[in-house]
C-alpha cells in the first residue's frame, strides 16, 4: 500500500442530471463518461481517473423536478482535473436523443462533507 503522500489526491463532485425522459443507470453513466472523454480527450480523461461512485434517481416528488426527470450522483476525480471536468459536464445537452443537462452542485475533498453539504 502506498503512503498517503504518494497516493493520487481525489476530490468528489456532487451532480444533478436533468432530462426530459427517464434515464437508465447505463445511459446516464455513458453520457457522463463520454462527455468527459470528448472534452478532455482520451489521454487526459485517463489521467483524470473519473469514477462514478453513486448515481440514483431523485426520490422526492416521484423523481421529477420542474417537470423533468432527475438523477443525483457523486463522481470521484483527480483534484487537478476538477475544473476541466466541471466544464465537460456542463456541456451535456442531450442524452439518448432527449434534451438533458448536468449541473455540479458542489465539490469537496471528502465524501462525508459532500453528502452533508450538497446531497441532503
**Whether the model pTM is above 0.85:** yes
Phi-psi sector, 107: left (phi>0), alpha (psi -120 to 50), beta:
beta
The predicted-structure confidence for 83-118, as pLDDT tens digits, reads as follows: 999 999 999 999 989 999 999 999 999 999 999 999
The percentage of residues in the chain with a pLDDT greater than 90, rounded to a whole number, is 78
- Residues 50, 27 contacting (CB under 8 angstroms): no
Report pLDDT for 105.
Answer: 97
> Looking at the predicted structure, is the pLDDT value of residue 62 above 70?
no
For residue 65, what pLDDT is reported?
75
CATH superfamily label, 10-118: Ribonuclease P, Pop5 subunit (3.30.70.3250)
Characterize the bridge pairing of strands 64-65 and 51-57. unpaired
- The continuous run of DSSP H or E covering 28 comes out as helix 25-40
Amino acid at each position: 500500500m502506498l503512503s498517503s503522500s504518494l497516493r493520487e489526491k481525489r476530490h468528489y463532485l456532487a451532480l444533478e442530471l436533468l432530462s426530459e425522459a427517464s434515464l437508465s443507470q447505463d445511459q446516464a453513466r455513458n453520457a457522463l463518461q463520454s462527455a468527459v472523454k470528448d472534452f478532455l480527450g482520451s489521454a487526459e480523461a485517463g489521467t483524470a481517473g473519473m469514477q462514478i461512485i453513486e448515481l440514483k434517481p431523485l426520490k422526492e416528488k416521484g423523481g421529477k423536478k420542474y417537470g423533468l426527470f432527475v438523477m443525483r450522483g457523486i463522481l470521484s476525480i483527480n483534484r487537478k482535473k476538477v475544473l476541466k471536468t466541471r466544464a465537460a459536464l456542463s456541456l451535456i445537452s442531450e442524452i439518448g436523443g432527449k434534451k438533458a443537462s448536468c449541473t455540479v452542485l458542489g465539490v469537496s475533498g471528502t465524501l462525508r462533507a459532500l453528502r452533508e453539504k450538497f446531497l441532503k
